[in-house]
Chain A
Amino acid sequence: MKIRIDHIAKIEGHASFTADIVQGDVKAAKIKIEEGARLFEGILKGRNGEEMPEIVSRICGICPVVHNLTAFKAIENAYGLAPDETSTLLRKLMMLGQIINSHSLHLFFFSLSDFFGFKTDLQLINAYPEKTHDATKIRDIGNKIVEVVGGRSIHPLTPTVGGLRQAPKLEELKGLLNDCKNILPLTIKLGEFFINLKYPDFHRETTFVSLTSPDEYAIYDGLMKVEKSTVSPKEFLTMTKEFQGPDKVAKRVKFVNKSYMVGALARLHNNADKLNPEAKKLLEKSHLKFPIYNPFYNILAQAIEVIHCFEETIKLLELITTGPIKIIEPKIEYWRGLPAGRQGIGAIEAPRGTLFYDIKVKEGIIEDINIITPTAQNLANLEDDLEEFEHLGGFSALSKEQRADKIKMLIRAYDPCVTCAVH
């Protein structure tokens, strides 16, 4: 029996899926990416370094902030620059806003319908009007954080090499702080709703990879945690291998020849002890026991992270709104005059997992660039999961259509970003 899903809806970008089921065993499970190649890694060569972050934010309309900031971090890494504390804190706020808006879009509008068998969000909205209202309010805050700090919610404007171009208005940050405090209870309510959903029963061991930090739940900065060991992003990249998938246009990534998982579930595995109190409480309420080798729980992990990000936003805003916010715009002449180390690596936790920028730069001009997206990393793991999908609880009793629905549900649980995967 052949399973073929032509257009997988409710993911970012276009993809389809094929597999054979031979005597109840899933074989040759392949995701086919159907985006045009935009050649971002080619068009940036020979361009000025400071142009790169603006252009690469256009790789993804759902997670433009993380592409923008990771590209800046790569340049700053090459030039040995460290943005001032205020700029760093504000960039961290932008990342929190980014994760809140991306996760709430995925949680509510992409994934939730799968639990109820709804084929359109209109059914979901009619069935849960109050929840829709809450999810929209939560998402609005994520957008507002990026807008207030970044100048615009999609394709941010204020970051620059070495810091920020401009400080947000203190009054707006205070307003934001107030909003976050008001909305935090809604995130907890939504988290409880996601705890009580019935997650499909599936188990396949894998390796969870994410940034980690001794000081906080790592998003903006940190070292790579791979099982028990910790390595620098640079070392990590030397141990990974990118290769073209069967669709040619999207790459896959393996670590020491094995697939691995990045994203919310991976971060929760590696850094749960660093979660903020309310997020931790919800995790305890869920009675989940690590390790959780069930990728469907990536959805619940995102719900927990939304709470964490709200708490973290409140924490950072309380810290920064105590006095006037001063930022001095770093000038291009300043960093371009510094000796560059040629290679620069940036790594940040995007909503969907660790995003890497590995660049070579000479006299301010980009010589080479490699972008390794979370979805490119997750695709190999997802295909390995699908290859063993016959182990899904109750699989043999499902009709062909039900099997296709469960496959789509798993693909969506990964929250793949196809336009990121192709770039």
Chain B
Amino acid sequence: MKKKPVIAILSLTCCEGCQVAIFDLGERFLEFLTKVNIGDFRLTEELPDVDKYDIAIVEGTAITKEQKRRLKIIRKKSKILIALGACACVGGPQEIKDYRGNKNRMLRQIYPNIRGIDNPNVKSVKEMVKVDLEIPGCPINKEEFFEIINKVIKGKIPKIEQKPVCEECPRKNKNCLLLLGKPCLGAISLAGCGAPCPKSNFPCDGCRGPRKGINLNAMKKALKIKAGLNDKEIEMIMERFGEKNEILKANKL
């Protein structure tokens, strides 16, 4: 019999909602656990850590020095490293501070004593170490995760198809939120989520980051004309999950 792969589910600074989403698979997740060996998964165990992981799944961003050190160690001991969720893939809401001027002034407004509090620019996991696969989203789509992870434990690394959220949107032929005047970023955002936001009458704000080859100018024009937004308001939406720099990179790529 083939050896079970050693899996670690690890968390840096974030809301841990992506780990919770994995847990939300319920019975399916418990059954999945019988197919693997757990290397590290703090939410369910407190056993000593193991030396090597076949697959490390990392959510969050490394903000403290200790987390940065840990991320490098995780990379070294893992064959495959998966970045999980918006924080790990595009920075997450903690990256908003980097777009808002003086981040240390912001820190001082919250903490009277700022000594010993790390406040670096927020970086996604791939900006710090090599990443083999990204599963984006805030939170991740647990169904997509389950499909992907079952392929990964069989030795495959699937690619997420580059298509816009609009393709999965139940409103695409009628009641398009953008056409109704709402600031929806579905056209430039990477699908795979199943479009839960527009389904709930909530405009997409691109938590999964952009798909490749977008036309940002066309998107901005539509947001101005249809939703009546100004440049500042558009920027603020693009900042929400730290995806702004990714959008600028993806523009006409």
* B37 shortest CB reach to chain A, Å: 10
Cβ of A46: which chain B residues have Cβ within 8 Å of it? 100
CA distance A137 to B113 in the complex (A): 46
Within residues 111 to 169 of chain A, which ones have a CB less than 8 A from any CB in chain B?
119-122, 125, 132-133, 136-137, 139-140, 143, 150-155, 157-158, 165-166
Q: Mark contacts of B50-83 with chain A using CB atoms, 8 A cut-off: 1 yes-contact digit, 0 otherwise.
A: 0000000000011110110000000000000000
Partner of B47, one of A35, A61, A120, A408: A120
Within the complex, the shortest CB–CB distance from B253 to chain A, in Å, comes to 27
Residue of A with least CB distance to B140: A154
Identify which of residues 1-30 in chain B touch chain A, using a CB-to-CB cut-off of 8 Å. Answer: 11-21, 23-24, 26-27, 30
Complex interface: chain B residues within 8 A of A36 (CB): 12-13, 61-64, 67, 94, 118
Stretch at the interface among A5-13, A81-89, A292-300, A392-400: A5-13
- Give the residue of A10, A60, A150, A244 whose beta carbon is less than 8 angstroms from that of B43: A10
Question: How many residues of A are counted as interface, with CB atoms below 8 angstroms from the partner's CB atoms?
Answer: 59
A152 engages B200 (CB within 8 Å): yes
Residue of A nearest to B42 (CB): A9
CB within 8 Å of A: which B193-224 residues: 196-197, 199-202, 205
Contact A43 B17, beta carbon cutoff 8 Å: no
Query: Are A34's CB and B66's CB within 8 A?
Result: yes
How would residues 99 to 116 of chain B score, 1 for a CB under 8 Å from any chain A CB and 0 otherwise?
Answer: 010010011011111111
Give the CA-CA distance A248 to B113 in the complex, in Å: 7
CA distance A245 to B252 in the complex (A): 48
Report the Cα distance A121→B14, complex, angstroms. 23
CA–CA, A61 and B142, complex, Å: 14
B247 / chain A contacts, CB cutoff of 8 Å: none
Interface assignment of A226: CB less than 8 Å from any CB of chain B:
no
Contact of B93 among A58, A137, A139, A140 (CB under 8 A): A58
Q: Bound state CA distance, A14 and B70, in angstroms?
A: 13
Say yes or no: A62 contacts B13, CB within 8 Å.
Answer: no
Would A122 and B38 count as touching, CB distance under 8 A? yes
Docked Cα-Cα span, A51 to B237, in Å, equals: 9
Is the beta-carbon distance between A13 and B16 smaller than 8 angstroms? yes
Contacts of B33 in A (CB 8 A): 122
Asked whether, in the complex, the Cβ of A158 is within 8 Å of the Cβ of B15, the reply is no
Across the interface, which residues of A come within 8 angstroms of B97, CB to CB? 39, 42-43
**B139 close to chain A: CB less than 8 A:** yes
Q: Is B225 interfacial (CB-CB < 8 Å)?
A: no
Is the Cβ of A10 less than 8 Å from the Cβ of B42?
yes
Q: Confirm or deny: B96 has a beta carbon within 8 angstroms of a beta carbon on chain A.
A: yes
Tell me which residues across on chain B come within 8 A of A25, comparing CB atoms. Answer: none
Contacts A10-B42, A122-B38, A151-B200 given; does A42 touch B109 at CB 8 Å: yes
Alpha-carbon separation in the docked complex, A13 to B16 (Å): 7
Total of A-B residue pairs, C-beta within 8 Å: 173
Residue numbers in B under 8 Å from A140 (CB-CB): 26
* Partner of A55 from B64, B114, B240 at Cβ < 8 Å: B240
The answer to whether the Cβ of B46 comes within 8 Å of any Cβ in the partner chain is: yes
List chain A residues, Cβ under 8 A from B30. Answer: 125, 132, 136
The answer to whether B45 and A120 have CB atoms under 8 Å apart is yes
Contact A39 B94 (CB under 8 A): yes
Q: Name the A residues within 8 Å of B24 (CB-CB).
A: 143, 153-154
User: Which residues in chain A, 334-352, are within 8 Å of chain B measured between CB atoms?
Assistant: none
CB pair A139–B26 under 8 Å, yes or no, is: yes
B236 part of interface (Cβ distance < 8 Å): yes
Question: Is residue B117 contacting chain A, with contact meaning CB distance below 8 A?
Answer: yes
Would B42 and A248 count as touching, CB distance under 8 A? no
B138 close to A122 (CB less than 8 A)? no
Tell yes or no: A109 within 8 A of B by CB: yes
Residue pair B116, A248 in contact (C-beta under 8 Å): yes
Task: Assess whether B107 is in contact with A37, with CB atoms less than 8 Å apart.
Answer: yes
Closest to B114 in A: A248
| Cα distance A248–B114 in the bound complex, in angstroms | 7
Q: Is B150 an interface residue (CB 8 A)?
A: no
B164, CB-defined interface residue at 8 Å: no
Other A-B pairs, 12, CB within 8 Å; known A55-B240, A154-B17: A36-B62, A38-B13, A38-B94, A43-B96, A43-B100, A55-B96, A58-B138, A61-B16, A153-B24, A154-B24, A166-B201, A244-B111
Interface pairs (14), CB distance under 8 Å: A12-B16, A35-B13, A36-B12, A39-B107, A41-B109, A43-B93, A55-B96, A64-B15, A109-B43, A143-B24, A155-B139, A248-B113, A248-B116, A329-B201
